[in-house]
A and B are shown apart, each in its own frame.
Chain A
């Protein structure tokens, strides 16, 4: 279930290689924007050359580019492009319930979720963004070292608790957040986390990862269902008869998640481990671009 760090990273980079670098567009967070690799198509603080502009009132003399000015009679000022880096905080559910896989041929939900999280991180880091993992509370940083750190954190054993609660300590203002979980646990915790994030002006995505078995409920006969950690149990005499009601409840849960997301300006999707991870990553990529 748990992947060795380098291996997970290799796979994640492999998956990320197929996509162009993801450029997150910052919206209107001037105060939190730090210099990054994102050209804002306007003059400002940054490293890259933007344009030469004739000297005007109010400009300081040290801003004059003498080499350009010497070619003509006018004084020119060399302007740089305004660049800003985005902070993305990812929370990957590390609870026991994510360790479930309905079939030996399918990866566990946690495997898929962690893979997607890291792939997204790779894309973001490559694009110069700063990425942090909410699980370990690291502040968003860019660079390869951060990626290594993330990969190591994502390769940890699953925690002992049955269902995960989103936690976002030190969520930067107006950052981006991605929650990857099965969202089968307590919905109040999700709601609280979303409210907290909305307060800080954070937009993001609820990314639900489910196993196809959880969607189809292919059980029959007398069965005792236990949660992955064993804390919850439910006994039934005819599992087949529960199917419809279970599916009803699942749909209800999805509906509630979507409503929550819509209310707080987040995006929601449900991904099945039976489907391709590439599609999911693509969705995350476009979603990050769309949330503005």
Chain B
């Protein structure tokens, strides 16, 4: 291939054709454009006329240039131009493509995969057998040298792993390499790795090694630390040198259960640092929701750090049975609890009923015996929904008969009367120590200090299932801590006081550890190796190389020692591990991790990742030639005068485009017109449903009603208006008629906001399902369901059928029926307040003070009101005289309705008239 800068040509000899261009120029210039043949009778008059210019009519120079360019483009196009042609790979023999395959690769994984594909294709063209190996996924066997296309097929399944290469696996692989010689192309992730040298040595022994590495700094995020109410976040990068900005997002579930960004904090690496720290202060509610932090846009497992219990601060409500005696702080039943919990939990106090509303994680009842029934029910609900009720015994509990005869729902066991006292001045025995915790106990593994002794306790009744409840016992086997599961929550009873009166337990560190094990308090630091030993953790959620979180599914449990060791691998991917109620986050980067760039020996050539992809330009260049020829065609037509007719069309189109904006201006003006029209006079309005027939009938109906109002009352409405919910302002209309059409689109949120504002500010909507002939209100007709759907977001008060004494029955006419085209009695209005009472001597109750915001029915009023253009009824109603009567009543209902809208409860006051008259008479 012949190269010209970044441009190569597959058939460079064709370019010699460019030499012929000047010749073409001369020829084209010499030959005048082809003549047009025209039939023309007037030729008889032309005979003998000679052209004034003897020179041939020449093609204009710019047209010639255009043609030249087109011709040149054709020649160049067929010469096969290629941008950034791939020079052939040198070398022969097998090629090993080795990738690191760690999370640091994930950020630009597609690019890497493309680069691997290019390398494989090159090798395929050169006929070299290829093998592909990932350092995070090494199989101890000689590389599988196959033809390139076999590997290309497998390439799509290649994914980065969220851990670093394991030295042991690598050593095994090197041992299994065999003696075959091969070249190596190593796509490095750019991070320092001690095992790299060993690998490099092994590969160099077998052939040439080339390294490809991006200069892109790898970003990482250290586990979030919780210090003094502030979350400490530390971001790392491999290379310093330039200032770099990034964003760290805190992600968690919002109250609706959707995962979203709860907070975003910007972080900036100073130019000369590879570490950037930022503090994030979050309200406890928000902080407890955070499940992970990640550097936005980094798309790598190392840039994600999961949070576990260490970040969570439980809300603990403390309630003591005894009122605090001032000054005796050390005797306070809550003092030791406060001391133990304050560093790791948020403490709240207050009345129990108030606390329940705050939904704390834990409620501690220290020596509380009796609870009010409402409190007890609330507590039970709360426990069953996952709360932890922690109770401490004490003199009051011992003295009461709570859980004495029957098991109290909020006690884990039944208690014997009185409790016991050991080792005191008046007793025989010694103070008792604690028995080592059983394996089933949540406290299992905690060391028991010798100084912990118990002198007094409440005693559990030896019920058959007592042993299951006991999670800690004294040396003599009497229960010290008992527990009962209840729904999703649990009730735990310490049989001693929460202060040092009955035992020295609250004074010891064991107390704090026990609270922690019960998940009352939370750890402030990662558990140490000895703490982890003997435990087994199962993965709940795991991270993949890209930092995506997925369910762990059936991963086997991991022993605590393995977690303490910290080396991630296939059997222990990073993720969130659980042991009982405790959660432990295993992150890609530990808290002491550091990132450093890979350091390659000088003899190894390190290439950049950036390869400009080979682009064949033949197509575009030929397309250019085609476009030029098209231009030439148009220009030639224009020159020879054949383009006139076409250009007239184009002019017309241009004129059309110029006219278009005028229409919008007119629309704008008409908007104001609507407001003026609607406010100058009383106007009835109906909602545009989108169903043409329904809208027509609604308009005709309102026209009929308007005419009736005009004729009979002092309300003189003008022609009704159709209202578009999406665009029109509703505030102008006292009354909206809304027929329900099945195919009406659901209005937008803004439209609903306007509707609700309209209803609250005294507007009224008459909903008409127009199906009273087939079903009553709420019977689930199609229109009824549509109405429910439409009205769901509306702020509609409780409804009731129109009561006999509703003001609608007498605002103008005295009515008890509200027929339309159908005569159903099912018409619903806002319900009367519960305390509406009929005053003495009054025929009516003192009902709503306001206009009912909605009237709902299905009588198809508009059809009964509707008049055609001659003022005659549009639709038949009923039969004969009865039908006429029904139409009349329908109109009267309409009149009453509009009167009600316009005068409110004015007519309600009229009920006083008899009294007033009577008084005047006296």
A residues whose Cβ falls under 8 Å from a Cβ of B: 97-98, 100, 109, 163, 182, 184-185, 211, 213-214, 217, 219-228, 232-238, 240-242, 245-246, 249-250, 253
Across the two chains, which residue of chain A brings its CB closest to B43?
A225
Docked CA distance A241–B686 (Å): 70
Decide if A227 touches B640 in the complex (CB within 8 Å).
no
Known: A225-B40, A233-B43, A246-B45. 14 other contacts (CB 8 A): A163-B41, A214-B41, A220-B641, A221-B57, A222-B32, A222-B35, A225-B38, A225-B43, A226-B38, A228-B41, A242-B51, A245-B49, A246-B42, A250-B45
Decide if B34 touches A222 in the complex (CB within 8 Å).
yes
Residue numbers in A under 8 Å from B49 (CB-CB):
234, 236, 242, 245-246
- 26 contacting pairs across A/B (C-beta < 8 A): A97-B44, A182-B41, A184-B41, A184-B44, A214-B42, A220-B640, A221-B33, A221-B639, A221-B640, A225-B46, A226-B37, A228-B39, A232-B47, A234-B46, A234-B47, A234-B49, A236-B46, A236-B51, A237-B32, A237-B53, A240-B641, A241-B53, A242-B49, A242-B51, A245-B49, A250-B42
Decide if A223 touches B38 in the complex (CB within 8 Å).
yes
Instruction: Identify whether the interface residues of A are mostly helix, strand, loop, or mixed.
Output: mixed
Decide if A222 touches B33 in the complex (CB within 8 Å).
yes
Taken residue by residue from 8 to 43, chain B's Cβ proximity to chain A (1 for < 8 Å, 0 otherwise) reads as 000000000000000000000000111111111111
Docked CA distance A161–B506 (Å): 132
Docked CA distance A71–B40 (Å): 75
Cβ of B869 under 8 Å from chain A = no
Across the two chains, which residue of chain B brings its CB closest to A249?
B45
Residue numbers in B under 8 Å from A211 (CB-CB):
41
Looking at the assembled complex, report how far the CB atom of B30 sits from the nearest CB atom of chain A, in whole angstroms: 14
Decide if B39 touches A226 in the complex (CB within 8 Å).
yes
Kindly list the 3 A-B residue pairs having the minimum CB-CB distance in the complex, ordered from nearest. Answer: A97-B41, A220-B641, A221-B640
Q: How many residues of B contact A (CB 8 A)?
A: 25
Across the two chains, which residue of chain B brings its CB closest to A234?
B46
Residue numbers in B under 8 Å from A182 (CB-CB):
41
Residue numbers in A under 8 Å from B32 (CB-CB):
222, 237
Cβ of B52 under 8 Å from chain A = yes
Decide if B37 touches A224 in the complex (CB within 8 Å).
yes
Looking at the assembled complex, report how far the CB atom of B634 sits from the nearest CB atom of chain A, in whole angstroms: 15
Residue numbers in A under 8 Å from B42 (CB-CB):
184, 214, 217, 225, 246, 250
Decide if B43 touches A232 in the complex (CB within 8 Å).
yes
Looking at the assembled complex, report how far the CB atom of B740 sits from the nearest CB atom of chain A, in whole angstroms: 55
Docked CA distance A253–B46 (Å): 12
Docked CA distance A214–B51 (Å): 19
Cβ of B56 under 8 Å from chain A = yes
Docked CA distance A97–B38 (Å): 13
Across the two chains, which residue of chain A brings its CB closest to B55?
A237
Residue numbers in A under 8 Å from B35 (CB-CB):
221-224, 235
Taken residue by residue from 640 to 666, chain B's Cβ proximity to chain A (1 for < 8 Å, 0 otherwise) reads as 110000000000000000000000000
Across the two chains, which residue of chain B brings its CB closest to A240?
B641
Across the two chains, which residue of chain A brings its CB closest to B41?
A97
Across the two chains, which residue of chain A brings its CB closest to B54?
A237
Decide if A224 touches B44 in the complex (CB within 8 Å).
no
Known: A223-B35, A224-B36. A100 touches B51 (CB 8 A): no
Looking at the assembled complex, report how far the CB atom of B777 sits from the nearest CB atom of chain A, in whole angstroms: 67
Residue in A182, A224, A253 whose Cβ sees the most chain B Cβ within 10 Å = A224
Decide if B46 touches A246 in the complex (CB within 8 Å).
yes
Residue of A109, A227, A238, A240 near B43 (CB, 8 A) is A227
Across the two chains, which residue of chain B brings its CB closest to A215?
B42
Residue numbers in B under 8 Å from A224 (CB-CB):
35-38
Docked CA distance A217–B39 (Å): 12
Residue in B33, B49, B53 whose Cβ sees the most chain A Cβ within 10 Å = B49
Docked CA distance A225–B40 (Å): 6
Docked CA distance A245–B46 (Å): 8
Known: A221-B36, A221-B640, A237-B32. A227 touches B41 (CB 8 A): yes
Decide if B52 touches A241 in the complex (CB within 8 Å).
yes
Looking at the assembled complex, report how far the CB atom of A231 sits from the nearest CB atom of chain B, in whole angstroms: 10
Residue in B40, B44, B46, B53 whose Cβ sees the most chain A Cβ within 10 Å = B40
Decide if B39 touches A227 in the complex (CB within 8 Å).
yes
Residue numbers in B under 8 Å from A236 (CB-CB):
46, 49, 51
Decide if A100 touches B641 in the complex (CB within 8 Å).
no
Docked CA distance A184–B57 (Å): 29
Residue in A98, A225, A242 whose Cβ sees the most chain B Cβ within 10 Å = A225
Across the two chains, which residue of chain A brings its CB closest to B636?
A221
Residue numbers in B under 8 Å from A235 (CB-CB):
35
Looking at the assembled complex, report how far the CB atom of A140 sits from the nearest CB atom of chain B, in whole angstroms: 30
Residue of B36, B44, B641 near A227 (CB, 8 A) is B44
Known: A221-B57, A222-B57, A253-B45. A238 touches B40 (CB 8 A): no
Residue numbers in A under 8 Å from B43 (CB-CB):
225-227, 232-234
Across the two chains, which residue of chain B brings its CB closest to A102?
B40
Docked CA distance A214–B46 (Å): 11
Docked CA distance A236–B50 (Å): 8
Docked CA distance A222–B37 (Å): 9
Docked CA distance A219–B642 (Å): 9
Residue in B32, B39, B639 whose Cβ sees the most chain A Cβ within 10 Å = B39
Docked CA distance A253–B53 (Å): 26
Residue numbers in B under 8 Å from A109 (CB-CB):
41
Residue of B38, B52, B57 near A219 (CB, 8 A) is B38
Residue numbers in B under 8 Å from A222 (CB-CB):
32-36, 57, 640
Residue numbers in B under 8 Å from A232 (CB-CB):
43-44, 47
Across the two chains, which residue of chain A brings its CB closest to B640?
A221
Across the two chains, which residue of chain A brings its CB closest to B57?
A237
Residue in A185, A219, A250 whose Cβ sees the most chain B Cβ within 10 Å = A219
Residue numbers in A under 8 Å from B34 (CB-CB):
222
Across the two chains, which residue of chain A brings its CB closest to B34?
A222
Known: A184-B44, A224-B36. A238 touches B640 (CB 8 A): no
Residue numbers in B under 8 Å from A219 (CB-CB):
38, 40, 641
Residue numbers in A under 8 Å from B40 (CB-CB):
100, 213-214, 219, 225-227
Docked CA distance A241–B35 (Å): 15
Residue numbers in A under 8 Å from B640 (CB-CB):
220-222
Decide if B36 touches A223 in the complex (CB within 8 Å).
yes
Residue numbers in A under 8 Å from B57 (CB-CB):
221-222, 237-238
Residue numbers in B under 8 Å from A237 (CB-CB):
32, 51, 53, 56-57
Known: A222-B34, A222-B35. A100 touches B52 (CB 8 A): no
Across the two chains, which residue of chain B brings its CB closest to A211?
B41
Decide if A238 touches B41 in the complex (CB within 8 Å).
no
B57-91 contacts to A (CB < 8 Å): 57
Residue numbers in B under 8 Å from A250 (CB-CB):
42, 45
Across the two chains, which residue of chain A brings its CB closest to B50?
A236
Residue numbers in B under 8 Å from A241 (CB-CB):
51-53
Across the two chains, which residue of chain B brings its CB closest to A185?
B44
Looking at the assembled complex, report how far the CB atom of B42 sits from the nearest CB atom of chain A, in whole angstroms: 5
Docked CA distance A240–B35 (Å): 13
Residue numbers in B under 8 Å from A97 (CB-CB):
41, 44
Residue numbers in B under 8 Å from A220 (CB-CB):
640-641
Looking at the assembled complex, report how far the CB atom of A240 sits from the nearest CB atom of chain B, in whole angstroms: 8
Looking at the assembled complex, report how far the CB atom of B839 sits from the nearest CB atom of chain A, in whole angstroms: 89
Taken residue by residue from 768 to 809, chain B's Cβ proximity to chain A (1 for < 8 Å, 0 otherwise) reads as 000000000000000000000000000000000000000000
Residue numbers in B under 8 Å from A253 (CB-CB):
45
Docked CA distance A97–B39 (Å): 9
Residue numbers in A under 8 Å from B51 (CB-CB):
236-238, 241-242
Looking at the assembled complex, report how far the CB atom of A11 sits from the nearest CB atom of chain B, in whole angstroms: 24
Docked CA distance A226–B52 (Å): 20
Looking at the assembled complex, report how far the CB atom of B47 sits from the nearest CB atom of chain A, in whole angstroms: 6
Residue in B32, B35, B52, B56 whose Cβ sees the most chain A Cβ within 10 Å = B35
B664-681 contacts to A (CB < 8 Å): none
Looking at the assembled complex, report how far the CB atom of B40 sits from the nearest CB atom of chain A, in whole angstroms: 5
Docked CA distance A217–B49 (Å): 14
Across the two chains, which residue of chain B brings its CB closest to A214?
B42
Docked CA distance A221–B45 (Å): 18
Looking at the assembled complex, report how far the CB atom of B649 sits from the nearest CB atom of chain A, in whole angstroms: 15
Docked CA distance A180–B46 (Å): 22
